Amino acid sequence: MNKAENQYIILIPTDFSDVCQNAITHGAEIARDLNDSICLLHVINKDTREHLKKINKELDYILDRLREIADATEKKYNIHVIYMTREGSIFTKIPEVATEINASLVMLGTHGKVGFQNLIGSFALKVILKSPVPVIVVQKRSFGEEYKNIVFPISDFMEDRQKVKWAIFLAKTFNSTIHLFQKYDSDPGRQSRINIVTGHIREAFDSNGISYLVENAGKHGNFATQVLEYAVSQRADLIIIMTDTEVPDPRFRLAPWDETMIFNTSQIPVMCLNPLVLSSFYYEF
């Protein structure tokens, strides 16, 4: 695979389901705004081979489908599209390819039982946890009018500050308003930490001329539910979260907070950043 001419590449895995096509649309819309390239990836595994056997097709069929989608996407969005296949596990090959092509972002379409590579639940979560770059999780909701309203939850999780650079970049790219949604904590020490984190984030936004609002969560209720209700009320186009990679679960399940946010029933896209190892890549702004 020859590296795309543009410096930045958005990686989009696909199993050719409708929701993966929606992820391609999201990625192509972003790439057009950023003058980026996209890379379509299909990981050939036992699911692929079983599907090909079922429809009586050979492996060449996968490349033909990728080529067809790439050509149509290039024509519609006037962007550079490359495509490739890799053989192995989606859990290892997607992160490997992200590193190989120096991807800036992964767009991951996740769905129910429609689609033959099970990009759902713990399967999708495992891909997210192993990604070396941020992952935007997309369900069936369309791209709409770009990421104009972005919800940025803040808790006493100090790593929340790591979301700032991407929030600034997205806000500058899409002329977005960032909605800082601050958790309430009855413990004075934790509430103090939340206030400190919020203060640091506001300083960064002020110094970069970012439009933002601050809203405090109510004193009662589950924070994840509060975030989602607030996001719906603000017609949010994107929610940015840090994943909690400290959950000691060998099945690669994330905390209930992460699962609630990522697979929210309102189908709001969610940008997931793994703490500390966000990416060696940053857009300059």
Per-residue pLDDT tens digits of the chain, which is 285 residues long: 333 444 679 999 998 888 899 999 999 999 998 888 999 999 998 888 888 888 888 889 999 999 999 999 999 999 999 999 999 998 899 999 999 999 999 999 986 544 444 555 567 788 888 899 999 999 888 877 689 999 999 987 666 667 899 999 999 989 999 999 999 999 999 999 999 989 999 999 999 999 999 999 999 888 989 999 999 999 999 999 988 655 444 333 445 677 788 888 899 999 999 875 444 444 443
Helix axes 164-174, 18-34, angle to 10 degrees: 80
- pLDDT at residue 11 in the model: 97
Residue 83 CA to residue 215 CA, distance in Å, equals 42
Count CB neighbours of 58 within 10 A. Answer: 9
* Token pair 């103090």 in the structure block, residue: 192
* Long-range CB contacts (within 8 A, 24+) of 158-161: 158/193, 158/197, 159/242, 159/275, 159/276, 160/197, 160/201, 160/242, 161/197, 161/200, 161/201
| 148 Cβ contact partners less than 8 Å away, ≥ 6 residues apart | 174, 175, 176, 177, 237
| 23 Cβ contact partners less than 8 Å away, ≥ 6 residues apart | 12, 14, 107, 108, 109, 138
Pairing of strands 270-273, 37-44: unpaired
| 216 Cβ contact partners less than 8 Å away, ≥ 6 residues apart | 181, 182, 184
- Its pTM stands at 0.86
For the chain, domains (ranges, CATH) are 9-138 (3.40.50.620), 149-273 (3.40.50.620)
Complete edge-to-edge strand list for the sheet that includes strand 149-154:
80-87, 37-44, 9-13, 105-109, 135-138, 270-273, 238-242, 149-154, 177-182, 211-216
Max CA-CA distance within the chain?
Answer: 64
- pLDDT at residue 148 in the model: 93
